[in-house]
Amino acid sequence: MKIGRLIAVMAVLAFTASSVWANTLENVRKAGEIKCGVSGKVPGFSVPDKNGVWSGLDVDFCRAVSAAIFDDPNKAKFVPVTTKERFTALQTGEINILSRNTTWTYQRDVNQGVEFCGILFYDGQGFMVNKGLGVSSAKELDGASICIQIGTTTELNVSDYFASNNMTYKPVVFESADESTVMYDTGRCDVYTTDASGLAARRTTLSKPDTHVILPEIISKEPLGPSVRQGDQQWGDIVRWTLNALINAEELGVTSANLAEMMKSKNPAIKRLLGVDSNLGEQLGLTRDWVCRIVKHVGNYGEMFDRNVGPTTPLKLERGPNALWKDGGLLYAPPIR
């Protein structure tokens, strides 16, 4: 094939692919549902109960997008994907959103054909050990065997941490977090490592949760957030601004309980957020009350956090870096105006 013809064919293929991906909102509406890629095995983030009802922070985020589009949080369909297949599932259109404890990194953002839409949960990697070892600091883990899930940022962080502290360790690697957890629980390794939230979640599934302790050191930055495939600006904006709307709603004190009252507020920022005197939602291809739909069905960010991973849940996590910026945390969203 001549070079000129080859270039023309490639251009047509690129245009075709771009056209397919550029219509995600329309395709989702035709399908009547959003396909959300989730872990499916992390309590507090995404897990089904015995009746098949899903719960978790990642799950609620997809429900928020569903509420914004359909005025119905139950139009989100949850598709479990592994760490190995998660980006391929997004790139091929098997899922519309990846909402699965995934760290936003340079390589993933630039080279994986995906677009991160913000940070849903600020996390960091930690270590969990059996209390019987008598260890109170990660600096005491020299020579320990560590259960690690391969193909994750976790694997690289452990290598960096032990090298920088002149310590050695024996990696015991597994394909999945489930395998790592089971092997740790059966004593195959001394230490289990993953994101701190994941440690708290996995500890609830161990045979004797109270006999394990999470060490105080956090050895990495793990900004976890939803992503979409590159090539559809409108869809990326919808997912990104749904997250921003959840955070702005908490900052402005708009909750699922006081939504009707807040609709009468004279605060200009609240009136814009709720579409009382603005049509910002229509610029996304949605309705002017898109944020009302989100808050009505799912609540604001704080409500989602408390319901799924907060102090009254089995994970018992404090807000910490996930508190609003005005409360000393890192949570900050651009204004909706």
DSSP letter at 145? E
pLDDT computed for residue 9 by the predictor = 44
Domain map (residue ranges) of the chain: 24-120+225-327, 122-224
The span from the CA of 200 to the CA of 231, in Å, is 36
pLDDT in tens, 191-228: 999 999 999 999 999 999 999 999 999 999 999 999 99
pLDDT computed for residue 159 by the predictor = 93
The span from the CA of 314 to the CA of 308, in Å, is 9
Which amino acid is present at 105?
T
For 163-175, what is the mean pLDDT?
94
pLDDT computed for residue 4 by the predictor = 45
pLDDT in tens, 85-144: 999 999 999 999 999 989 999 999 999 999 999 999 999 999 999 999 999 999 999 999
- Under a CB-based contact definition with an 8 Å cutoff, are residues 63 and 74 in contact? yes
pLDDT bracket for residue 152 (50, 70, 90): confident
How many CB atoms lie under 10 A from the CB of residue 314?
14
Half-sphere exposure of 2 (CA within 13 A, CB side): 3
- Percentage of residues of the chain with pLDDT beyond 90: 88
pLDDT bracket for residue 64 (50, 70, 90): very high
The span from the CA of 79 to the CA of 81, in Å, is 6
Per-residue pLDDT for 333 more than 60?
Answer: yes
> Any idea which architecture 122-224 has in CATH?
3-Layer(aba) Sandwich (3.40)
CATH topology assigned to domain 24-120+225-327 = D-Maltodextrin-Binding Protein; domain 2 (3.40.190)
Q: Give 169 or 12, the one with higher predicted confidence.
A: 169
Per-residue pLDDT for 315 more than 50?
Answer: yes
Alpha helices in 42-174 (DSSP H): 57-70, 86-91, 106-111, 153-164
Q: Structure tokens of 232?
A: 């559809």
The span from the CA of 217 to the CA of 206, in Å, is 21
pLDDT computed for residue 21 by the predictor = 53
Q: Is the dihedral of CA 310, 312, 317, 319 positive or negative?
A: positive
Average pLDDT over all residues of the chain: 92
